[in-house]
Structures are given as structure tokens and as C-alpha cells.
Amino acid sequence: MKFGLAIQKKNRNNINGVENHNTRLKPPEKQLPKEAWFTKAGHHSVVKFDKSKIVHARGLSKRKDAVLGIEFSFQVGNQTEWRDIPTLEHPCGRPKAMIDGKPARDVMEAVCRGAKEAMEAEFGAHNIVSIDLHTDESSPHVHVVVTPVTKEGKLQAKQWLNGYDSVAELRARAHVCMLNHIECTYTPGDKGGEPLDESMRAGGVNGPQPQLSWSQKAAAVVSVPKIITELKKQVESYRKELAVLFQQVKRLTKSLRNEVSGRKKDKLDAAVAAAEKARDVAEKINSIERSGKLQITKLQRENTDLMRDNNQLAEQNNELKSAVRKPELKS
């Protein structure tokens, strides 16, 4: 299992949202359905969020853009190591009960211990704002928020994050601490913690897909053209609605130009509302078209694969029939 560590600097502009996300005061968009969570709670607080430490860091800052906190995201293993192959009943993949011969809960707890040890060794327990385990996404991971306050009492993130080399060394030290609790690999110099492509997450368009039986594949061959047709109809319907709305906007705009001296507020409001609705519909169409194109491309590719499989089966069937006829001809 591979060790990964993502690092984000937090200043006055973005540190306030950290608590909402990490403590799950506000569910994230990428949160999976509850049946796909690794634990019933979905979130576990290892060290409770302490706002006073952020307030203290803000008091030490001398610049408006000063780094008040650093967020670390620890992860060991990817979703294919934590989840079974997706099925139609479990499109996100059922969470595995055992990881490398150990109960999954024990492995998650080991990652928490490793993350806590690594951060305490780097920053000291007094600088740890919070430690949270998330089990409601594609794979379990631990978020740690710290304040970069030095032993001399200065707010100085550069002491830890001063270029590519220093960040790589920090990751290497964190990996050593993690090895005290769980076996995992890390290549020195690896970036680690790359931004997640949301389409690759569990249940995503480009994520692991359910394995279909031959009967399900045969049914898919029939249903693919229907799905494509329905998507095209939906897009065309939104296009027509958009055209009607634009015409309405034009009429209202023309009317307003003729009556601008009277400042007809009701018509002005109607024009603004129609324009906003047209914009929303346009955004929805763009979103549907993007999603539709992805799905159509994927379905067409799967349809081609299924047709190829069916052709191969037909060829094999013909060969078998030919083999059966030969003995009959000899007799």
C-alpha cells in the first residue's frame, strides 16, 4: 500500500472553512451514500478542533496573507485496495472488511496513530489544531490541521515548507513515523497527495465500474442506443426551453426600451428574472451536455466492446458447427 500526504497552506481567506469540512459540520459534495461508508459515523474526531490555536496564530501574524495553519491529508492505499470490485448492487464497491489480512478498522486506527505521531514530532502537540478521520469517501484518510509556530514563538511556515526539497523531506519523515504503525511504501521525492480527479472516485464516471455478467452485457448492447437517444432528447428539450426564454427576454427588453421613461419596475423585474432563468438553463444544458458526452462516449466504447465479444462468440459457434458436420460427412 502506498503512502500519500497532501499539504495545503491556510490563511485568513480560507482557514474558516477547514472546520466545517473536517468536522463534517457541512457534508461535502464528494461524500458517498451511507451504505458505501467504511464506518457508520463517517467521521471520527481524534483530536477535537481547537479554534483558540488559530486565534493565537492570527495574533502572531504580521502580514494579511500570513499562513495561519497547514492542513495535512494522510492516506495509505487507494480505493481499489479498500473496496471490492463494484457491482450493480454496490456501484461504489463494498468496503472491504480485511486489509492485508488485518481488520479494516485496525488499519484505519493505525493510520490515525501514524499521522498523530508524525505531526507531534514535527510541530509539537501544542500546535495541533485538530485530527479527523474521514470514512465517508472513496478511501479512509486523516486530516490534520496545525499552526506553524516555531519553538521561539514565531509564526513561520517557511521553517517547514520552504520549497520542493523541504516538503519532500517532510513527507519522508512523516513516512518513517507511519511505518511505526503500518507497512506502506513511499518513494523519496514523490509529490504525493495530488489533487483528486472527482470523476475517478468511487461511483464516479471514470472510477471502477461494475463487472457485468454475459446476460447483463447482452442487455447492455440493447439498452445503450436507448440511453443515448434519451440523453439527446433531454439536451434538445433544454435547448428548446432556452430558445423560448431568449425570445421572452428580447420581447421584454424591447418593451422596456419603449417605456424606459416610465421605469416600469414590474417589467424590469420580469426581464431580469427571465435573463437569470435563461442563464441557469444555459448552465444546466452545458452541464448535461458535458455529462452526456462523457456517458455517450463511454457507452459507445462499451457497446463496441460488447459487439466485438458477440462477433467472437458467433465465430466460435460457427467453428463448432463446422467441426460437428465433418464427422457426419465422412460417415
Neighbours of 71 (CB within 10 A): 20
Q: Record the cell numbers describing residue 145, joined without a space.
A: 490541521
E-strand spans in the chain? 3-10, 43-47, 69-76, 98-99, 102-103, 128-134, 141-146
- Quickly state the pLDDT bin for 236 (edges 50, 70, 90): confident
| pLDDT of 278 above 70 | yes
**Percentage of the chain lying above the pLDDT 70 cut:** 84
Which of the four pLDDT bands, split at 50, 70 and 90, describes residue 231?
A: confident
More confident residue, 58 or 319: 58
Pick the CATH number of 3-200 from 3.30.930.30, 3.90.1150.10, 3.30.1490.20, 3.40.50.1820: 3.30.930.30
Does the pLDDT value for residue 138 go beyond 70? yes
Q: Say if residue 220's pLDDT is above 70.
A: no
Query: What is the torsion angle, in degrees rounded to the nearest 10, for the CA atoms of residue 101, residue 106, residue 107 and residue 113?
Result: -150
Torsion of CA 53, 54, 59, 63, to 10 degrees: 140
How many Å apart are CA 99 and CA 94, to the nearest integer?
A: 13
Distance (Å, whole) CA 60 – CA 68: 9
Band of residue 268 on the pLDDT scale cut at 50, 70, 90: low
Q: What pLDDT band is residue 213 in, cutting at 50, 70 and 90?
A: low
Q: pLDDT by residue (tens digit) across 14-26?
A: 998 899 999 999 8
Domain ranges of the chain: 3-200, 214-330
Distance CA 159, CA 191 (A): 19
